[in-house]
Structure 1
């Protein structure tokens, strides 16, 4: 009997599709995952009208300044602060990374539940490589992240997000490449943290410990130059900051904190390092 030659990617798509079925066969879960970023866009982005905040200080009693002049000064102040004349668009670009972060975080829970339900024990007895087990969960998280980011982007456009006038399909593709690399690295990171975990409570504690620091120690809501000096080094090593920088430069034409190529190089290194570490550690630590 001829022995079947199984490659290192054997079973990868089957494992990826298994995780995706849990998602697209339960649309209510998808809906719940979109509530938070949409609330941020609608309540924080629209209700907090930073344009009026910048111009209200120019209405000095007794000094009759024409409204056109006030609006022009306010627009220049917003552009010099955020790199674009529309704060809502600035925030909307950050919400793409927001949804990718929170979707990628849940990738570690997949390992925990597979272990608790006994599926991981059965899977480890099959010819499927441990690297495929890890990458199947990573890829499913990446696909979910990109789909949900697309939905958030469409909602942001409906609410008034403004693209740069000369935007091209290549700019949009570049934004998705950045989100892909960020999701690949973050999903691998959170799965690494769950390789030896047997308790969903401990994994939830890790997620709750990291999610808000990762989000707020980035340029998702405010530019780096407005942050205190002690926080700036943290922001500058946060992959979310680089994905936001790319999306704002490509989609909005905003002024970036680095060149687009430097941002891509950082995200590529981040994704390559952590996805490789995830596979290597799975060979040693992934067990039932």
Structure 2
């Protein structure tokens, strides 16, 4: 296989490798590193002593296996880094436009949920192997036998890991089915009330037990603990409105599979806000302000 053909094969499967690695790691930069390492291993096979890349009968399966194993290794290494993270940890926001790329509504819903902030936060509490099994099975529908080969485990062990991971996620993730138009409308109303410092309008939108999870990484202004309660959070948002973002511009975009608000400061991403909504009220507010996590959406 010529080098250009070898590259073409890898590039054909790059999107699924990025998709798997991001769901495993929650950070686009880490996922890109994994994909790059997978490319190096793929291209090195052509010059190695074993079977060349050109002789691999199922390149997609082979490349997903490499990327998954690399992601597991990387996740094990970065766990300690996240344990010492300043404040709550949220995934790195990524721009998504699933409606434009996935025509099937049911498939789109599964993939949107698999990159949601709520699910990715829950996946952080799984072991690396449980997370790999959950991602491959639930997000991509891989058969247990293929996952077993990928992880070098027995199929029985994989089924056990899958069951444990699924129960854990089901117990902890919120189950909100919200129409995207309703979500966007409420997000717009939230922006108007929050930016205007209108406490009464905010309290109408917030569930009594609403939570606010802010990820600043200690590198920008933001709460270092999860906040709870509509009155407390409403007053916090009003206080923020008194110190507005310089040269602010607000955009609505699909981020991590759902409508979100992107705030720009002097043309650069400053804040991502996404809402969890149920029964017409905001149940949780996710705010990402860590500048290291906003590079992946800088092109919006």
TM-score, scaled to structure 2? 0.28
More strand by share: 2
Structure with higher Rg: it is 1
Higher relative contact order (Cα pairs below 8 Å, separated by 6+ residues): 1
Higher helix share: 1
TM-score, normalised to structure 1's length?
0.29
